[in-house]
Amino acid sequence: MIDKKAAADHKITELIAERWSPRAFSDKKLEPEKILALKQLRFSHVTYGDGGQRFVLFEAARWAPSAFNEQPWRFITASKSDPQEFEKMLSCLAKSNQVWAKRAQMLIILVVKNKFDYNGKPNRWAMHDCGLALENLLLEAAAQGLQGHPMAGFSTDAVRETYGVPEDYEPLAAVAVGYVGEPELLEGELRDRELDKRERLPLDGFVFEGKWRQPIKK
């Protein structure tokens, strides 16, 4: 399996260094204790399958911090164990993402609740808080030996129509989850991108001290 561990300039937690966003997923199925096959799929509702196993990825997302503890994240999910539901969610993705995401074992749509419950006003921190929840999910996936690939390439209109998402909620991101496969599962540019070195801005490109654009002191 390809090694894409972050070449960090400073020592960071292994789990963070090892989390990345693959496009090549293997056909290895997810174990029940890691991902629970849903009996029923419904917007903002999870029905647990026989045995009531812990839905660990979403449990991790559940404990993310949020402004006023609003918890504005909602997840719609489809497992490959239910091919009809999987294909339904796959069809909401951009064609360019369907090419590789079809090999994942689970697809997720992250939906944001745009207003506060307590006063009905717009929640300007909602997307930020959803990002925290999603990162919790991705890190838990990595801890379970899986990887997740977030996507912006999907149709919000298709998600709304397919799943009946209310007007005060907004589809925000899609995610493919599964075990990492070999780059040879991909073709052309996708394979090249899978093999590319991971890159990030240097710290002095986004961490400032004293004034804007003044790098943090070393």
- The runs of H, that is alpha helices, within the chain are 14-18, 56-62, 83-90, 95-101, 126-143, 156-163, 188-195
Tokens 């749509």 — which residue? 109
Note whether 82 and 37 are within 8 A (CB).
Answer: yes
pLDDT, mean over the chain: 87
pLDDT in tens, 183-209: 999 999 999 999 999 999 999 999 999
Mean pLDDT of 16-22: 87
Closest CA relative to residue 149, chosen from 128, 129, 178, 182: 178
Note the pLDDT of residue 33: 62
Residue 58, classed as helix, strand or coil, is helix
Mean pLDDT of 39-53: 33
CA distance 79 to 96: 20
pLDDT in tens, 57-81: 898 999 999 999 999 999 999 999 8
In 10 A of CB 128, how many CB atoms? Answer: 13
Closest CA relative to residue 9, chosen from 194, 193, 204, 142: 204
E strands in the chain: 41-42, 45-46, 73-79, 106-113, 147-151, 169-178
Note whether 72 and 126 are within 8 A (CB).
Answer: yes
CA distance 164 to 20: 31
Residue 189, classed as helix, strand or coil, is helix
pLDDT in tens, 106-131: 999 999 999 999 999 999 999 999 99
Closest CA relative to residue 175, chosen from 201, 140, 200, 199: 140
pLDDT in tens, 133-172: 999 999 999 998 999 999 999 999 999 999 999 999 999 9
Order the strands of the 169-178 sheet from edge to edge: 73-79, 106-113, 169-178, 147-151
Q: Which two tokens stand for residue 2?
A: 């390809």
Note the pLDDT of residue 174: 98
